[in-house]
Each structure stands twice: as C-alpha cells, then as structure tokens.
A and B are shown apart, each in its own frame.
Chain A
C-alpha cells in the first residue's frame, strides 16, 4: 500500500459528461501528480501540483483541469468526455525534493 488513495475505483459515464476524480496524497507529501494510462498511449504525465500551485504541465487536454486544495488532496476534472478518454487515471505524490513518486491504485474510467 503506497499510502496514496484515489476515489472512485471505477467510473462509468456517457460521452459529453463531466466527472471528478479525487486523490489524497501520502501523509506529509506536498506534490501531487496526475497520469493517464491507456493501451495506445501508455503512461502519460498530465499535471503536477505543489502545495496548491500548479508546477508542471504535460499532455493535458484543455477539457481537463485539476486543482490541489489546502488540505493537499487533489481533484482532476474531466469534461465533455469522449470515448477516447476511457483510461486508467493515476495520482502520485512525492515529498519536497523527493525523487520517488508513490502511485495510488488508480481510477478506471469508462466512457460509453
């Protein structure tokens, strides 16, 4: 168990809808990262937050947004969902200056 929690575990929704994925980092970790894992694209870095501020951006679509709250939990919002957004979404966290990213169990999103 990495200490990173993600909810929900599974999500089934329809095209055009909006969903919110939630992540709680390990105790004391200030950095949160979001990744998308799909069969054709592999593991892709989406975005990083550090202590509430956006610090690094990867291949994140404009339809996707994220934020980190004062209690350090983070949410990834996916809107105007398309079939191709079906994937596993992972959250990871790390300590300040820490190289190791600890991954959560993921949220499996299915867009029908």
Chain B
C-alpha cells in the first residue's frame, strides 16, 4: 500500500515533443505528490508538486495532471529539450503539512530528449 508505481522505465522523445510519465498509488492517505528531477552525479531536485484537492498544476513547460478517483498522476513536459534529459521520480507522502513526512518514491524514468 505504500508503493508508488511509475512507468515507463525509460523514454526517448524528440526535441519539441511531449514527454509523459505516469504514476499510480494505492494509499489514499497520501496528501502530497512531488516530482523530482535527477541529473547524473547529482541529488534529486524538486521540479513540481501537487496536492490531491487540485486536478492540474502547471509551471512553465511542466504540468502535473492528477486523477484522485483513479489514484493516478502524471508529469507532462511540453516542448521537451535536450537539457530535460534526466531521471524523473514521482513520489508521494503522508503528513507533509506537519513537516514530518515520509516520501515514497517511484522507481524512476530515464528520459532522453534527442536533438
């Protein structure tokens, strides 16, 4: 119940295309859903996050779509650029508002944007 399932494992997109990464969860107590971006040799960095009371959040070229009834959320990267090539992790947590949260991460998607 604490798992977050992420797909696909890897993704190749042409420059200018749309990258879509999907995640699904079981635990309805999760109350915070961030996406992290990780470049080789670096730690994960927060990209964008959403709470379950919102169905969509957009920040620049990055959009999270959230479907509470289906217990699924996805990351869309519009106009994908070679600089977006990285590993993307979805995550979910309980207790985020208290500051005492446990982040449960998906298995990661390796995105390659071809020039």
Contact = CB atoms under 8 A, between A and B. Distances in A.
Interface residues of B, number: 25
B108 A42 contact: yes
A101 B49 CA distance: 11
Contacts of A55: 100
Given A99-B49, A101-B46, A105-B42, A58 B100 contact: no
Contacts of B99: 31, 50, 94-98
B97 interface: yes
A90 B100 contact: no
Contact of B44 (A96, A98, A103): A103
Given A99-B32, A99-B49, A45 B100 contact: no
A50 B101 CA distance: 11
Given A33-B103, A43-B108, A100-B34, 6 more contacts: A48-B100, A50-B99, A50-B100, A97-B99, A99-B34, A99-B97
A103 B102 contact: no
Size range of the chain A interface in the assembly: 20 to 34
11 contacts: A42-B106, A42-B107, A45-B105, A48-B102, A99-B96, A100-B34, A100-B49, A103-B36, A103-B44, A105-B43, A106-B42
Nearest to B51: A99
Interface string A40-59: 00111100101000011010
B43 A104 contact: yes
Interface of A: 2, 4, 31, 33, 42-45, 48, 50, 55-56, 58, 90, 92, 94-106
Nearest to B103: A45
Contacts of A94: 99
Contacts of A96: 99
A60 B104 CA distance: 14
Contact of B43 (A42, A58, A90): A90
Nearest to B96: A99
